[in-house]
Chains A and B, each alone.
Chain A
Amino acid sequence: MIRWTFGQKITAGFAVTLALTLLIGGVTIATLHHVVEKKDRLVTQYAENLISAQLLDSLYAKQSAQNRAFLLTGDQTYLVAAQEFRKDFTGTVLAIDANLTNPDARRQVERIQTAEASYQAGARTLLQARAVGTTSETIMRRFESELAPQAEALSREIETFKRLERDLLEKAKEHSTQDAEQGSFLVLLIAALALGIASATAVVLTRSLSRQIGSTIQHLQSSSSELHAAANQQATGSGEQAAAMTEVSTTMKELLSTSRQIADSAQQVARIAEETATAARSGDRSVVKAQEAVAIIKRQVDQIVLHMLDLGRKSQQVGGILEIIKELAEQTNILAINATIEAAGAGESGKRFAAVADEIRKLADRVSGSTGDIRMLIDEIRTAANTTVMTTEDGSKAVEMGAQQFGELAAAFNQIASLVATTAEAAREIELSTKQQSTAVEQVNIAISDAAQAAKETEASSRQTLQTSSQLAGVSRELAQIVRASR
C-alpha cells in the first residue's frame, strides 16, 4: 500500500477538485457550444430561410408591382426591373433550397417554385399581350382574373413556407431549449456529482489528514515529552558534568603537582642509579678478587684433602702394625701361660720362673688390652680423618659452589650494573616524559576548563531546549485541539 505524504494528499485533493472543475467547465462549455451551435444553426438555417421567405415575399411583391406598372404604363423600365426582381427571387429560392434540410420545407419550396412558374407564365402571357398592344383595361382585367389568383397562390405558398419555417424555427427553438435544459441538467448533475466526489474526497482527505496529523501530533507530543525528559536529563547531566569538570580540573592540578614530584623523584632515581652502577662495578671488582681468593682456598682445601687421605692411609698402616703388636701380645700371653704351666711342672725350682712368666703374662695381657684401646683410638682417628676428608670435600664442593656463586654474583653484578644503567636511562626518560606529561596536563587542564565552560553553556542550552520542548508540547496540544475541533 502506498503511503502518501501530507503534500501528496493535499495535491491529490486539489487535483481531484481541479479535475471535477475542469470536467464541469468542459461539460458546460460543450453544452454551451452545443446550444450556441444549435442556435446558430437555427439562426443561419431557419431565420435566414424565414428572412429569405420574407425577401421572397418582398421580391414577389416588387416584381408584381413592376409588372403591374409595366402593364399599366408599358414602360420597359418596369419590365426590366421586374425581371431583375424575378432573377433575385429565383436566386433566393435556390439559396433557400440549398439551405433546407427538412423534406416538408423542400416540398413547400417546390410548390413555391411551381406557383412562381405559373405566375411567371401568366405574367409572360400578359406582358406579351401588353406588348402587342392589348388595352390596359383588358390587361388589367386579365391581370385581376388570371394573374392575381396565381399571385395569391404564390403568396399563399410563400406564406405557407414562412409558417412552415416559423414552425420549424419554433420546434428548433424548443429543441434547442430542451438541449440547453439537458445541458444545464447535465451540468447540474455533473456539478452535483463533482460536489459529492469533492465532498467525499474532502471527507477522506480530512479524515486521512486528521489521522496523519493526529498521529503526527501524538508523535510530536511523545517527542516533546521525550525531548522534555532528555532536556531535563541533559540539563542535570550538564550540571553534573560541569561539577565533575571542576573536580577533574582540581584533580588535574593535583596530578600536575604529582607529575612534578615524579619528575623530581625520577631525577633522584637517575642519580641514585648512577651511584648504584658505580657501587655495582666496585662490587664486581670485589667479586673478582673474592673469586681469586676462593680459587686459592680451593687449592688449599685440595691439599688438605690429600693430607687427610695420607693420614688415613698411615692410620691404616698404624692399625696393621697394631694388629702385629696385638698378635705378639697374645702370643706372648700364650707363651707366658705355657711357661706358667711348664713352671708348675718343674716343682720348687720353677716357682720363680713361674712368677716371672706370670708377670710377663700380665704384661702381655695389659698390652693386648692397650692395643684394643689403641685400636679404638686409631679407628677414631680414621673416622675423624674420613669425616675430615668428607667435610673437606664438602668444603671443597662448597668452595666450588661458592666460586660458581661468585661467578654468578659477578654476572649478577654485571647484570645489576646493566639494569641500573637501564634504570637510569628509564628514569631519565621518565623524567622527560613526566615533564612532557606536566605540559600535557596543563593543556588538558585548560581544555577541561573550556569543557567545563562548554558544559555550563550546554546546561543553559538544555534549559532553553527544555523551555522549547514545553512550548512544543503546548503547540502540539493546541494542534490536537484544532484537529479534534475540525473533525
Chain B
Amino acid sequence: MTKPGIDAKLAELRSAFDESFAQAAAPLEDAGERLLAIRIGDEGYALRLSEITGIQALRRVVPLPGGPEGFRGLAGIRGRLVAVYGLAALLGIRGAGEENWLVLTQGAEPIGLSFPAFEGFLEESALHPAQERESEHVREVLRTGSVVRGVIHLPSVSDAIMRRTRP
C-alpha cells in the first residue's frame, strides 16, 4: 500500500469516527439478525447475539475433576463463577484447537461456552433451515457470499447441558 493510500485510509477513519458523533442515532429495528461469526476447527459457525449475554477473551479456566462431557472447569466472569463447556466437544468436533474465546448464554445461570476463534460481527437477515443436520444444535445456516455457516442454537446447547447435569 502506497503512502497516498495510507493517508486516504487514515482520513476515512478519522471522518467516520467524527461522523459517528454527528449522525443521528439509527433505529435498531432496521437492522437484520445480529450474529457473531466464530470458527471451530476448519468450519465457520455463527451465534445469535440475542442468545448470549456477553463475549470475552477467555483468560483462565480452573479445571475440576469429573463433570460431564465437554465440561472444562470454572472461570471468573464479571465477579461470578461460571461453568465453562467446550463448544467443540458439545458439537462433537475433535481436534478443534485451543479455545480462547467465551460466550455467556442467556438465563438465570448463564453457561460459558468456549470456542477457538472469534471472526467478527455479522448482520444478516437471510437465514435458511439446514438441509442436513450435522448436529442437533445446528438447525439453520447462514450464507455470506460463498461461505456457509451453521447457526448454533445456543438454547438447545444449554438444554442439553442442563439435561446432562441434572439428575
Contacts and interface: CB of A to CB of B under 8 A. Distances in A.
A341 B34 CA distance: 10
A340 B121 CA distance: 11
Contacts of B20: 356, 359-360, 362-363
What secondary structure prevails in chain B residues at the interface with A? mixed
A377 B6 contact: yes
Contacts of A334: 55-57, 118
Interface in B103-145: 118, 120-121
A361 B52 contact: no
Contact of B17 (A338, A361, A363, A365): A363
A377 B1 CA distance: 6
B9 interface: yes
B17 A340 contact: no
Given A355-B26, A377-B6, A337 B121 contact: yes
A373 interface: yes
B16 A363 contact: yes
Contacts of B16: 362-363, 366
Given A340-B34, A367-B13, A356 B25 contact: yes
A311 B54 CA distance: 42
A459 B50 CA distance: 137
A51 interface: no
B27 interface: yes
Interface residues of B, number: 26
Interface string B49-83: 11011111100000000000000000000000000
Interface in A373-430: 373-374, 376-377, 380
A338 B54 contact: yes
Interface in A342-373: 342, 344-345, 351-352, 354-356, 358-363, 365-367, 370, 373
Nearest to A380: B1
A333 interface: yes
A338 B56 contact: yes
Contacts of A374: 6
B123 to A, nearest CB: 9
B6 A361 contact: no
Contact of A361 (B1, B9, B118, B121): B121
Contacts of B9: 370, 373
Given A361-B121, A367-B13, A376-B1, A341 B53 contact: yes
A341 B121 contact: no
A358 to B, nearest CB: 8
A372 to B, nearest CB: 11
B28 interface: yes
B161 interface: no
Given A351-B25, A355-B27, A360-B20, 5 more contacts: A334-B118, A337-B121, A338-B55, A365-B121, A377-B6
